[in-house]
Amino acid sequence: MEEIDEVRALLKSLPRPTSLAERRDRLDTVASAYGVAPDIAFERVRIGHCEAEWSLAPGSDPGRVLLYFHGGGYCSGSIRSHRGMVSETGRAAGVRTLALGYRLAPEHPFPAALEDAVAAVEYLLRIGIPAGQIAIGGDSAGGGLTLATMIRLRDAGRPLPACAWLVSPWVDLEMTGASIDTKDADDPLIHRTYLQELAGAYCGGETPRDPLISPVHADLRGLPPALVQVGSAETLLDDAVAIVERFGEADVAVTLEVWPRMIHAWHLWSARLSAGRQAIASAGAYIGTRLAT
């Protein structure tokens, strides 16, 4: 059995949830199945409405920070679900990480998560972390939130992070990309009907074409350089390709990595998946070389 097939088996071993509470618990369970390294130091902090968590690996620079927004379709996911992925990327980049537990839909629809994300950037600036020493990133919905945060900061004339890291980004809540259907049989996690439910919960009464909800429609000029990573077995493959094209149209430096056979946000299972460790190493190198020292 190949490593990715072991992860697929893990995902299939738990029944599909029927309620929001079960969905949230399932993601926390499957994404944190392999735990975290014992040498990572964690510290909780509160930012506005939200809990957040610092992580620091031995030898990493606490003065350079990766601010991370978890995935989960804006309705699930947590600091717990993404703790291993975030802390290991901090180790690979040689930086401290700050994972934000932003408010979730449907209890808190758009723009609550965006307000929380912007507040987290402002928090870092307020405690003395210069923008040039901040990277910002996220997977799935967290990738879309990363883009929306940078757009909001740019439009407000606020300092922008040095770079962005987008993993399997969900940037089109209308789901117009062909891969949402052509990759449906390959993707064990993300399907059209599921995404439609999440999009409705997040948008509330707003149109999914709002550029701060679906950044594929946004003007990306003036944003910092970005690394986009996506798996070839994902229904969101076309989201990643589309946002890379938008970066190119805006004359923003962007790097696209398409990882063969990988599923949505495969980094979450890097403890058992060499391609996850390699993708994290690539992201760490990208972030580490772009942050000021």
Does this model's pTM top 0.85? My answer is: yes
Distance, CA of 75 to CA of 80 (rounded, Å): 15
Active site residues: 140, 234, 264
> How do residues 202-223 score in pLDDT, each as one tens digit?
999 999 999 999 999 999 999 9
Distant-in-sequence contacts of 255-260, Cβ < 8 A, 24+ apart: 255/225, 255/226, 255/227, 255/228, 255/286, 256/228, 256/230, 257/227, 257/228, 257/229, 257/230, 257/282, 258/230, 258/231, 258/232, 259/229, 259/230, 259/231, 259/232, 260/231, 260/232
- Provide the pLDDT for residue 14: 74
Looking at residue 1, what is its pLDDT? 61
Q: What is the pLDDT of residue 115?
A: 98
Per-residue model confidence (pLDDT) at position 113: 98
pLDDT computed for residue 18 by the predictor: 78
Question: What's phi and psi for 68, nearest 5 deg?
Answer: -125, 135
Q: Which pLDDT belongs to residue 2?
A: 87
Q: What is the pLDDT of residue 293?
A: 76
Q: Tell me which residues of the chain have a pLDDT lower than 50.
A: none
d(CA 137, CA 214): 16
Instruction: Report how far residue 21's alpha carbon sits from residue 69's, in angstroms, rounded to the nearest whole number.
Output: 20
Q: What is the pLDDT of residues 124-141, one digit of tens each?
A: 999 999 999 999 999 999
Query: Which pLDDT score is estimated for 231?
Result: 98
